[in-house]
Structure 1
Amino acid sequence: MTKVWLVTGASRGLGREIARAALDAGETVVATARSLDAVLDAFEKHDRLHALALDITDADAANSVAAETIERFGAIDVLVNNAGYAELGFFETFTDAAVRRQFEVNLFGTMNVARAVAPHMRVRRSGLIVTISSVSGLASNGGGAVYSASKFAVEGWMEGFAQELAPLGVRSLLVEPGMLRTDFMDRKSASFGSIDIPDYVEAIAQYRSFVEGANGNQPGDPKLLAARVVALASQAETPSRLVFGDDARQWAGAKVDQLRKEITQSADRG
């Protein structure tokens, strides 16, 4: 049976690849992004594709998109909460406004869309909410503190929200990729701090060099991840998490090992 997918941030990157993979699987896709023209430019004309503009930080707009999708197609079977961006750089180099904007999009915007769709899924006692997080939502590093903070928050929210929804037939999948070959690390999706702090000059220069070198050379294949997400959506049982990529599994595993060690040390200290 054909499913109806609602995908945010679908004009490029992983969102575009998930939308394309769903279309290739015979699904109906409502693809959204802040710019309607950007969505239309990202896809060839397709009978099962419906493009809508959506700024996820606008709760009323999220409600309208959900309502329009349900009115037109009768259901939302899969929500892919993908839209987001990264503040990359050292914490003290970001203004308060920049940090709050990171949370406004990555956390509160994602919440807006879930809040708009979840009631429909609860009524139907059916549906899947796919939340695109990051391995940076499990482990943080210097230069990623602000971005990781927003993704840690997404992880904590969805981990609890998923348990609230599960008895009502609504499934959840947190996707935690490592570094994917998308434009996520260029200036379309990432921004850097604006405050100059002499103590960090050398470290920030090294970090920016790393980002510039990694951009376009990331090891993860977004098409492969998109195919995995679409395949999992068709299964009756869905894992609560998908840690994708050798790098992500290595970083997540190291964090688990670190936590185990620190928990043991905490017990030894009494």
Structure 2
Amino acid sequence: MSPQIWLITGTSSGFGGLLTKAALAHGDKVIATARDPAKIADLKALGAATLALDVTDTEENVNKTITAAVEIYGHIDILVNNAAYILEGAIEECSPEEEFKSWNTNVFGVTKVLRAVLPYMRLCRSGVIANMGSIGGWRGYGGAGMYGASKYAIAGLSEGLRQEVAPLGIDVVCIEPGYFRTNFLAPGHRTSSAKHIADYDPVMEPLRNMLSAYNGKQPGDPEKGARVIVEILTKTGRVQGKVLPGRIPLGSDALKVIGGFCADTGKTLEEWKDIASSTDHDDVAKN
């Protein structure tokens, strides 16, 4: 099998750099991107091509960067939208400007990169797109509502896009990790809202304390996670012959959270089905 060509955003921290290394170790070629390519010089030394890409830049500049990326190897087989932004704060505390910064990276940045890459994948009638979601895209958490909302959006976007491009030979998956021992929870990687409302301290302080205490103790091994993502997206090893689902959990805690959500939802549907279905017209057959 010939080497796959990867394009990965946000490779200067978190899963991005480890995923680049895992893909290279798999024998593939990687175009690693970051706002500052100097921060990914180690990936370049390992054989990755590196480019400056700020997913919050203008559509024109993102398109130019993707064009330059395609020119390196001639095409892109696997796109991983990995760049992410954590905004801490109660919903009322978050300003419109802070909200936009969060969504500009986590959602609008993803759609800009998608629009730039998809024409090349459509031309080849092949490709795999992975959008990095989160268990926060299944359950909302007080104090992290903006982040969770953006990950809910990514899940919905991925499912819609998956249906649109499936006839063109392109796969789309939303990978939803639990807590992995990356630097994602480190204080310097979490942005807190500037506004403080004391009424929300009973929610915000326990959250901040939990995240700080949990940093470095997360159950997920990010190197193992990166290798599994490579296995999934290249459809090799244990994934060979499988049809990729639209949403893929990553980590035992992700299985627990998502499984719990599905069980709770099932109970809610059963408890409320009579009330919910009572809104139908009288000529609608009842099952």
- Which bracket does the TM-score occupy, shorter chain normalised? over 0.9
What percentage of residue pairs aligned between the two structures are identical?
A: 35
Q: Secondary structure of 1:91's partner? A: coil
Contact in 2 for aligned 1:180/1:219 (Cα 8 Å): yes
Aligned partner of 2:20 in structure 1 is: 19
- 1:74-113 alpha-carbon deviations (Å, 9 max, x no partner): 1100001000111123212211111111111100001111
1:68-107 paired onto structure 2 within 5 Å: 68-107=68-107
**Partner Cα distance (2:92, 2:216) in 1:** 27
Q: Secondary structure of 2:226's partner? A: helix
Report the Cα offset of residue 193 of structure 1.
1.8
**Partner Cα distance (1:44, 1:97) in 2:** 34
Contact in 1 for aligned 2:158/2:246 (Cα 8 Å): no
**Partner Cα distance (2:60, 2:86) in 1:** 24
Matched, 1:200 2:196: no
Indicate the RMSD between aligned Cα atoms, in angstroms.
1.4
**Partner Cα distance (1:165, 1:60) in 2:** 23
- 1:145-166 alpha-carbon deviations (Å, 9 max, x no partner): 1100111111111110111010
Q: Secondary structure of 2:84's partner? A: coil
Report the Cα offset of residue 203 of structure 1.
2.7
Deviates more, 1:230-239 or 1:218-227: 230-239
Aligned partner of 2:171 in structure 1 is: 171
**Partner Cα distance (1:264, 1:92) in 2:** 33
Aligned partner of 1:54 in structure 2 is: 53
- 1:159-216 alpha-carbon deviations (Å, 9 max, x no partner): 1011101010001121000111111112343111221212112332222111110112
1:147-162 paired onto structure 2 within 5 Å: 147-162=147-162
The gaps in structure 2 that reach 5 residues or longer are: 236-240, 279-287
Amino acid across the alignment from 2:274: D
Contact in 2 for aligned 1:185/1:215 (Cα 8 Å): yes
Aligned partner of 1:255 in structure 2 is: 261
Amino acid across the alignment from 2:273: A
Question: Could you tell me which of 244, 260, 268 is aligned with 2:250?
Answer: 244
**Partner Cα distance (1:44, 1:116) in 2:** 23
Aligned partner of 1:34 in structure 2 is: 35
Amino acid across the alignment from 1:256: C
**Partner Cα distance (1:63, 1:148) in 2:** 28
Amino acid across the alignment from 2:261: K
**Partner Cα distance (2:78, 2:226) in 1:** 13
Q: Secondary structure of 2:187's partner? A: coil
Report the Cα offset of residue 44 of structure 1.
5.7
Contact in 2 for aligned 1:177/1:243 (Cα 8 Å): yes
Which stretches of structure 1, 4 residues or longer, exceed 6 Å deviation after superposition?
none
